[in-house]
Amino acid sequence: MDFGKFATSYLQELKSVLDEFDTDRFVQLVRALLAAYEKEQTIFIMGNGGSGTTASHFVCDLNKGCCLDLDKKFKVMCLNDNLPSLLAYANDMSYEAVFVEQLKNFFKKGDLVIGISGSGNSENVLQAIRFAGAHGGKTAGISGYAGGKLADLVEIPFVARIDDMQKVEDVHMIVVHIIMQAVYAELHPGAAGAKPC
């Protein structure tokens, strides 16, 4: 195998997806996050596998990266980070219930719930989104392929439209980092050119 050629091909395909970046949905996502921040509402983010690590990274970027030096903070929770709770719900109920059961403890009307799912069809993510929507929450989904059920279920769907899980996850991480820098810039209007760390 020509690994250099393979890498070039991979990057060309990834670039083709980024060339179709949905800026309208991106703007909606950023505005929803900033609205939750202004109203001091909680933002819940979740995913499985690679999407779970993206969710964890997203939470860190918002909680620490965007407002470390500010008195007012984001209130963001990652529902896939509490391993004992995940295992307890999965063992005693079902894996499909691991996110929605946590929401039942903390969710309040008006909170923002973001599901990340490469396929858009992760049932545990869908159950949490359905719960949030039925109880007055704002919902967003970050998915890939054709969007899956998640894109049809949420108010704000962002879809990386490519049938390749790794490239879907690449795009999702890029979205998270663009969001972080956009939010940081909005919250630091006097720090032109400054970047979060």
Spell out the domain ranges in the chain. Answer: 22-187
Instruction: Residue count of the chain, please give it.
Output: 197
Separation between Cα atoms, residue 98 and residue 79, nearest integer Å: 8
Separation between Cα atoms, residue 5 and residue 113, nearest integer Å: 40
**What would the CATH number be for the domain defined by 22-187?**
3.40.50.10490
- Over range 168-175, report the average pLDDT: 98
pLDDT digits (tens, 9 = 90+) for 25-77: 999 999 999 999 999 999 999 999 999 999 999 999 999 999 999 999 999 99
pLDDT score, position 192? 65
Inter-axis angle of helices 23-38 and 165-187, to 10 degrees? Answer: 50
Angle (CA) 87 141 75, round 5°: 70
- Identify the band that residue 190 occupies on the pLDDT scale cut at 50, 70 and 90: confident
Angle (CA) 89 90 96, round 5°: 100
Separation between Cα atoms, residue 71 and residue 158, nearest integer Å: 31
Longest CA–CA span in the chain (Å) reads 54
Separation between Cα atoms, residue 70 and residue 67, nearest integer Å: 5
Q: pTM of the predicted model, to two decimals? A: 0.96
Strand partners of residue 45: 78, 114
Q: Over 80: is that where the pLDDT of 191 sits?
A: no
